Structure 1
């Protein structure tokens, strides 16, 4: 992709790694573009079953915007769509599972990268925080992906006080799925539980999950009534039910 956002395909999993260790894997335009391109690639290729977003080294997942440049918040106000917001929009449309591998500090905009993913696994030494108020800013865009993950009062404290929390605290508040000393072993365990399932069910399931989140009850029920009928028409659904009756492992086609 580019030197600062590396892409590596490991079997059916695309790893997208922010490679700016000297800047604690802070985001810049090249990183944002590389992540968008990577998600686009994973979404378009049926052979890719998941995408993992992480950072180089063991100190930082992503420190947020690169404040050292002095240009991170120098927006072109004639453009209504900005880089990080557009990345989050693209992640929201993805039907391939996105998994955050949080290998260190996950701060500010890095919290947005983690929260836009469908699941997250963190190292025991990882820390999480929204320190923007310490430099006169606020995690505005991050709110769009964080507000449905954790309780409102917890979110208020993170945003208004700006103090970090530990990986175990992040687990308790629902920011991450798993915390482990060996983050890669836990990630591999999670991927194994995902990759043996129906590709068609996972992709259509993510589509359904993301659409019902903001719907009222009746709207949600009407939408999911139509979706279950579509699920049942897939080759994977027919194969899965046949395999169940025949007491064998299903042979998925992803269709």
Structure 2
């Protein structure tokens, strides 16, 4: 890991904090590779129930690529690049990832937001795709963002560089909840709603949702009918049904 990315485990939640406040938490290769490694590590740790991704300070979640570094120059002999690899890793991740958007979320930061499963934002947060202002466009970001914003809104943001505020982001479905005051209180409320649920069911749900997103109906329904059959074989399913019948709280094993 790098000093630019802080990794902390708080109970059953892994916190990933981009720690570059002097650069408005702009991302570089070390940050991207660090987040990707953390997601892969979390997937192997059954004790972790959720991942929170945020930025240091109160001004920025992530302002995108650090333009003082060679962000858009790649090793062209290497077909897989830093941001794309991170987005692939997030796609494979079945531990819920929650974005804690504490300020400006711009450019590549929008990609980090979009790769998360849920998001809580400050009402002071702003969202935008300003790449066109420096002669590029949000190519990789579009792969994860295109299904989360209305097409005409996304087009306007992409080709004008215009920003939207937190209320608009909520209305468009880009974030789940806005914090009226204490952002962490709202985040804890959301975490509380998932940490008492079946770990195996959550993993299966995220896996299934990500697999069927681009499938036509017949392929989707065939896949999902097999998945519900597999879910019924888990210890958590047996425990959940027993707890319901016995009118008690379930004791999840995550198996």
- Deviation of residue 156 (structure 1)? 0.7
**Who is 2:215 aligned against?**
215
* C-alpha distance in structure 1 between counterparts of 2:210 and 2:100, whole Å: 21
* C-alpha distance in structure 2 between counterparts of 1:250 and 1:94, whole Å: 25
* C-alpha distance in structure 2 between counterparts of 1:195 and 1:144, whole Å: 29
* C-alpha distance in structure 1 between counterparts of 2:42 and 2:194, whole Å: 15
* C-alpha distance in structure 1 between counterparts of 2:57 and 2:148, whole Å: 27
* C-alpha distance in structure 2 between counterparts of 1:189 and 1:158, whole Å: 31
- Deviation of residue 142 (structure 1)? 0.4
* C-alpha distance in structure 2 between counterparts of 1:213 and 1:36, whole Å: 22
**Who is 1:122 aligned against?**
121
- Deviation of residue 77 (structure 1)? 1.4
SS of 2:98's equivalent?
A: strand
CA RMSD of aligned residues (A): 0.7
**Who is 1:188 aligned against?**
188
Question: Does structure 1 residue 245 correspond to structure 2 residue 245?
Answer: yes
* C-alpha distance in structure 2 between counterparts of 1:95 and 1:210, whole Å: 9
* Mapping for residues 227-246 of structure 1, pairs under 5 Å: 227-246=227-246
- Deviation of residue 25 (structure 1)? 0.3
* C-alpha distance in structure 1 between counterparts of 2:6 and 2:141, whole Å: 23
Question: Does structure 1 residue 76 correspond to structure 2 residue 69?
Answer: no
Question: Does structure 1 residue 46 correspond to structure 2 residue 46?
Answer: yes
- Deviation of residue 116 (structure 1)? 0.2
**Who is 1:103 aligned against?**
102
* C-alpha distance in structure 1 between counterparts of 2:131 and 2:218, whole Å: 38
* C-alpha distance in structure 1 between counterparts of 2:150 and 2:125, whole Å: 21
* C-alpha distance in structure 1 between counterparts of 2:73 and 2:243, whole Å: 56
User: Aligned residue pairs: how many?
Assistant: 254
Q: Any unmatched runs of 5+ in structure 1?
A: none
TM-score normalized by the length of structure 1: 0.98
* C-alpha distance in structure 2 between counterparts of 1:73 and 1:6, whole Å: 24
* C-alpha distance in structure 2 between counterparts of 1:107 and 1:175, whole Å: 13
- Deviation of residue 72 (structure 1)? 1.1
TM-score normalized by the length of structure 2: 0.98
Q: Any unmatched runs of 5+ in structure 2?
A: none
SS of 1:128's equivalent?
A: strand
Runs of 4+ in 1 over 2 A off after TM superposition: none
**Who is 2:141 aligned against?**
142
**Who is 1:164 aligned against?**
163
* C-alpha distance in structure 1 between counterparts of 2:242 and 2:189, whole Å: 27
